């Protein structure tokens, strides 16, 4: 009971903070520091800003919009409610998203980073472009329950936004395309590539692995890397990992209308996994230990179970307790503290 009350109080405080209005000084605060750079150990991104040139003002406008609850029907829910910077822009301790009127969604809010390298978004891949990815939350009756027309009209009537759009796009006109492109300038800049692992790969100071982390890295490459491909730690495929014998959530089948895709979900990145609990599409596991135990002994023989989880008449990935601990040690090297503590991505 006390935990529930505490979480409720934290939620109220966090939500109320979103009503902060932004000054011109805040708007200019980072105007000389916004630059998209591809990390040396990363592949070429998918999103290249060609049709949405990144500007300091555009990034800051997207940041304001991301933290502004007026994008929701009753001005109670901002993008940042379900995508919290301290949880690598996931939703800490919430198995599923929480929307307007205390409505509970059906899926866990995914972490937001390295989006410029993605071709498909959401757990089922139902969105094909980063600029359209906010539409799912904005229009969902159980999340922000709004519409682009409503938001545009509301922003047009505000005392601050016309000037911000003028600075970002050279015109005070506010429309849905500019709104979505401003949000994309912010979210595409959420690049996480400076963890201990990255420093290890780039042979930089601070990247020296312990013996346990090195053992965990070997185990990772042996058992996990086929799906969680380096350096992004996902291959962006859709797979069924045996959570249920019969999948309650259709998953990818929602998009393809193929029974063979039922219960398949997008492979999430393991970057910052230490910070983004709970886990799986429905947030059923609270800890990484539970996740590893699922793969060790809990995999169900679903009709669409991924072939990598059923080899030699054995389900899952069997690891001893010491091996699991070593793997956990390695996974924690994927935590990018510089990313989650970057003031540029946080609300002033």
Percentage of the chain with pLDDT > 70? 91
First-to-last alpha carbon distance for the chain, in angstroms, is 32
Query: For tokens 């005070």, what's the residue?
Result: 172
Q: What pLDDT, on the 0 to 100 scale, is given for residue 92? A: 96
Q: Judging by DSSP bridges, how do beta strands 238-239 and 265-266 pair with one another?
A: antiparallel
Flag whether pLDDT at 196 surpasses 70: yes
Q: How confident is the model at residue 1 (pLDDT cuts 50, 70, 90)?
A: very low
Percentage of the chain with pLDDT > 90? 89
- CA-to-CA separations, 38 to 43, 188, 193, 344, in angstroms, rounded: 8, 11, 9, 18
Q: How far apart are CA 128 and CA 107, in angstroms?
A: 19
Flag whether pLDDT at 76 surpasses 70: yes
Query: For tokens 């708007």, what's the residue?
Result: 27
What is the H or E stretch that residue 314 is in?
Answer: strand 314-315
Question: Which of 31-35, 136-140, 273-277 shows the lowest per-residue confidence on average (mean pLDDT)?
Answer: 31-35
What is the H or E stretch that residue 153 is in?
Answer: helix 148-157
CB 216 within 8 A of CB 143: no
Q: What pLDDT, on the 0 to 100 scale, is given for residue 29? A: 52
In the numeric block, which tokens belong to residue 198? Answer: 């990255």
In the numeric block, which tokens belong to residue 153? Answer: 């009209």
The 10s digit of each residue's pLDDT in 20-46 is 344 444 545 545 578 999 999 999 999
Reduce the secondary structure of 231-283 to three states and give it as a string: CCCCCCCEECCCCCCCCCCCECHHHHCCHHHECEEECCCCCCCCCCCCECCCC
Average pLDDT over residues 127-151: 97
Q: How far apart are CA 12 and CA 21, in angstroms?
A: 18
CB 342 within 8 A of CB 12: no
Average pLDDT over residues 110-135: 98
- CA-to-CA separations, 7 to 1, 4, 173, 284, in angstroms, rounded: 10, 5, 40, 18
Q: Give the number of C-alpha atoms closer than 13 A to the C-alpha of residue 181, restricted to the C-beta side.
A: 18
Q: What pLDDT, on the 0 to 100 scale, is given for residue 348? A: 76
Query: For tokens 């600029």, what's the residue?
Result: 131
Angle at the Cα of 287 from the Cα atoms of 281 and 288, rounded to 5 degrees = 85
Flag whether pLDDT at 47 surpasses 80: yes
pTM passes above 0.85: yes
Q: What pLDDT, on the 0 to 100 scale, is given for residue 28? A: 52
Compute and round to an integer the Cα radius of gyration of the chain: 21
Q: How confident is the model at residue 138 (pLDDT cuts 50, 70, 90)?
A: very high
Q: What pLDDT, on the 0 to 100 scale, is given for residue 15? A: 40
Flag whether pLDDT at 181 surpasses 60: yes
In the numeric block, which tokens belong to residue 228? Answer: 């969680």
Average pLDDT over residues 200-217: 98
Q: How far apart are CA 191 and CA 257, in angstroms?
A: 33
Q: How far apart are CA 193 and CA 40, in angstroms?
A: 9
Question: Across all residues in the chain, what is the average pLDDT?
Answer: 92
């Amino acid at each position: 009971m006390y935990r529930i009350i505490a979480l409720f109080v934290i939620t109220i405080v966090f939500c109320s903070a979103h009503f902060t209005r932004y000054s011109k000084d805040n708007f200019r605060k980072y105007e000389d520091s916004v630059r998209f750079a591809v990390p040396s150990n990363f592949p070429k991104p998918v999103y290249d800003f060609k049709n949405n040139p990144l500007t300091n003002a555009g990034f800051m406008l997207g940041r304001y919009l991301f933290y502004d609850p007026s994008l929701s029907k009753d001005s109670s829910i901002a993008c940042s409610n379900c995508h919290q910077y301290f949880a690598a822009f996931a939703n800490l301790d919430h198995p599923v998203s929480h929307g307007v009127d205390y409505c509970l969604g059906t899926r866990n809010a995914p972490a937001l980073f390295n989006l410029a390298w993605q071709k498909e978004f959401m757990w089922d891949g139902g969105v094909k472009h980063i600029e359209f990815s906010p539409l799912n939350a904005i229009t969902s009756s159980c999340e922000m329950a709004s519409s682009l027309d409503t938001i545009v009209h509301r922003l047009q009537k505000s005392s601050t936004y016309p000037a911000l759009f003028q600075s970002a796009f050279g015109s005070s006109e506010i429309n849905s395309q500019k709104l979505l492109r401003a949000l994309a300038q912010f979210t595409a800049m959420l690049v996480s590539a400076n963890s201990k692992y990255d420093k290890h790969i780039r042979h930089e100071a601070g990247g020296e692995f312990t013996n346990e982390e090195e053992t965990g890295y070997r185990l990772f490459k042996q058992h996990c890397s086929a799906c969680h491909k380096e350096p992004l730690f996902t291959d962006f495929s859709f797979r069924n990992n045996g959570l249920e014998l019969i999948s309650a959530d259709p998953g990818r089948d929602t998009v393809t209308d193929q029974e063979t895709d039922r219960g398949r979900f997008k492979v999430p990145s393991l970057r910052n996994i230490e910070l983004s609990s709970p886990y799986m599409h429905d947030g059923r596991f609270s800890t990484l230990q539970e996740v590893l135990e699922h793969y060790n002994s809990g995999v169900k023989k679903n009709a669409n179970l991924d072939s990598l989880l059923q080899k030699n008449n054995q389900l899952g990935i069997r690891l001893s307790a010491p091996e699991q601990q070593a793997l956990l040690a390695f996974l924690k090297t994927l935590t990018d503290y510089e990313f989650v503590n970057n003031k540029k991505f946080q609300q002033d």
